[in-house]
Amino acid sequence: MKKIIFSLMMPSVLIILFILPVNLVFARAFNNDFETGDLTDWEKTGTAFDFQPTWGDNPTARNRNQPSNHQGDWWLGLFEKYQGPDNKLGQNAGDVQGDGPQGTLTSIEFKIIGETMNFLIGGGFHPWENDPGPCCVNLEIDDEVVRTSTGQQAGTTETMIRAEWDISDLKGKTAQLVVVDQNGGGWGHPNFDDVHQADAGGKNIPWDRVLAVDARGKLAVSWAQMKKYY
């Protein structure tokens, strides 16, 4: 009986989907918190990210007394060189690569649909502007930096804090995140983790919803989401 009803309703469903500003696609997630244990969805240059993401609270493991405050198990800590207890590289908790390696890490493209963007950030204070060796996280649109953040100016620390950008004026634009490490000197590294877009109420928007917005700004739906129309 259900199959008969479904067959009868399908034309109406397709008409609704044609009328509504949606596209039938299957949304995907984004490795926004590095919990894949690798750099899926990100493209690196240079050598700074060769041993990233790092696993666990490595600053505490090396007695830094500055807990990382990361989310989950994995995060970007550009001073660290420890990829977990199961790594095959002979790494041990507390191992570091230091500030020498440099490079960039660029995310996949995504639509701006939120009011704000929030993330965890720490490490050195080397801002994008007016610093010949920046260590920061940038939001780029058409290769132009439209937002940027770096570690805390007062009391440089490995401990990450939650930062936020107002992105309401960028809605509808296609953007990328770029983690920049272009400093080989003291505190020449950024820490970064757990990035989200949020709505006007401050609620984080699931990344599968963000990535379901196509180039025309229309919200796509999955086959499962179609069920609400019949």
Q: Does residue 2 have a pLDDT over 60?
A: no
221 within a domain of the structure (yes/no): yes
166 within a domain of the structure (yes/no): yes
| Whether residues 110 and 189 fall in one domain | yes
| Whether residues 11 and 116 fall in one domain | no
- Span 37-41, average pLDDT: 98
| Whether residues 114 and 188 fall in one domain | yes
Copy the structure tokens of residue 185.
């000197």
| Whether residues 152 and 189 fall in one domain | yes
61 within a domain of the structure (yes/no): no
Q: Does residue 173 have a pLDDT over 70?
A: yes
179 within a domain of the structure (yes/no): yes
Copy the structure tokens of residue 21.
């500003």
Q: Does residue 55 have a pLDDT over 70?
A: yes
**Per-residue pLDDT, 34:** 98
Provide the 3-class DSSP secondary structure of residue 14.
Answer: helix
| Whether residues 34 and 144 fall in one domain | yes
184 within a domain of the structure (yes/no): yes
CATH number reported for the structural domain that contains residue 115 in this entry: 2.60.120
Q: Does residue 83 have a pLDDT over 80?
A: yes
| Whether residues 150 and 177 fall in one domain | yes
Q: Does residue 8 have a pLDDT over 60?
A: no
78 within a domain of the structure (yes/no): no
Domain that holds residue 4: 1-27+216-230
Amino acid type, 98 = G
- Span 172-183, average pLDDT: 98
Q: What is the pLDDT of residues 122-167, one digit of tens each?
A: 999 999 998 999 999 999 999 999 999 999 886 689 999 999 999 9
Strand 103-107, strand 135-141: pairing? unpaired
Q: Provide the domain count of the chain.
A: 2
Q: Does residue 22 have a pLDDT over 90?
A: no
